[in-house]
Amino acid sequence: MNKLILCAAVVPLIGLSACAENYAAEGAAVGGAGGALIGVTTGADTGTAAAIGAAAGAVVGSQIKKDGDCDGYDRNGYLDPDCYGRPGYPDR
């Protein structure tokens, strides 16, 4: 039960942290639904499975950006995929 409370408290904070820039909230929703489905089909605790799925979905979704804008090169020298084919950037 403590894991469920912890995940229920953390997941909304992850979603609100940068919801305008990435898919953290959407990932949490899909992950929670998937976790609940897995919990029901396997006989595991549905609440815990949903909370773990929501946390995992939020983490994955937070790594996918929404804006579609070209952000250039990051500090590691990698080119934003949205920049390919734009003026001043390589085609691929």
Residue 63 structure tokens: 């790594």
Give the pLDDT score at 7. 55
- Of residues 58 and 2, more confidently modeled: 58
- Give the total number of structural domains in the chain: 1
In Å, what is the CA distance from 42 to each residue of 28, 30, 35, 57? 21, 18, 10, 19
Give the pLDDT score at 18. 46
Q: What is the pLDDT of residues 48-86, one digit of tens each?
A: 999 999 999 888 888 777 777 887 887 888 888 888 888
60 belongs to a structural domain: yes
79 belongs to a structural domain: no
27 belongs to a structural domain: yes
75 belongs to a structural domain: no
76 belongs to a structural domain: no
Give the pLDDT score at 50. 92
Please give the residue range of the domain that contains residue 8.
2-67
33 belongs to a structural domain: yes
48 belongs to a structural domain: yes
Q: What is the pLDDT of residues 3-34, one digit of tens each?
A: 555 455 555 555 455 445 677 888 898 899 99
74 belongs to a structural domain: no
Nearest-CA neighbor of 31 among 66, 2, 60? 60
